[in-house]
Amino acid sequence: MIDVILMRFEEPDEVRELELGRFEVVRIGGLTIGRATYQPGWRWSEHVPSDEPLCTVEHVGLVLAGTATAAFEGGRVVELRAGELFHIPPEPHDSWVVGDEPYVSLHFMGANRYAAR
């Protein structure tokens, strides 16, 4: 018999609570997948506890709702909008929600390290 595993983010394996946001983690099929939900006003450098001033996690994901940025040390700022797949290299970057609606994205790479304490 073939085992099929079904999971939902409403019942994640782990929840990483953040000020103005949360990161839910599901481990399935050898992968760690995350769902980020951030409220307007959320900013990585202010609301994610870290010993580093900027995020250095490599991300591959899909924006489900809202808009956020990836802002790199060299000054490049990229907006991530609903429906877009993204790859953020492991270069130091900040991120924040743009506008007044929540930002939601799935993370297929980097979820195991992101916002982990």
Residue 25 lies in a domain: yes
Task: Convert the pLDDT of each residue in 3-47 to its tens digit.
Answer: 899 999 999 999 999 999 999 999 999 999 999 999 999 999 999
Residue 59 lies in a domain: yes
Note the pLDDT of residue 66.
Answer: 98
Task: Convert the pLDDT of each residue in 93-103 to its tens digit.
Answer: 999 999 999 99
Residue 3 lies in a domain: no
Burial class (CB in 10 A: 0-12, 13-18, 19+), 44: buried
Split into its structural domains, the chain has a count of: 1
Residue 117 lies in a domain: no
Q: What percent of the chain has pLDDT over 70?
A: 100
pLDDT above 80 (res 117): no
What's the CATH code of the domain at 64? 2.60.120.10
Residue 5 lies in a domain: no
Nearest to 21 by CA among 83, 113, 80, 97: 97
Supply the range of the domain harboring residue 89.
14-109
| 60 bridge partner residues | 87, 109
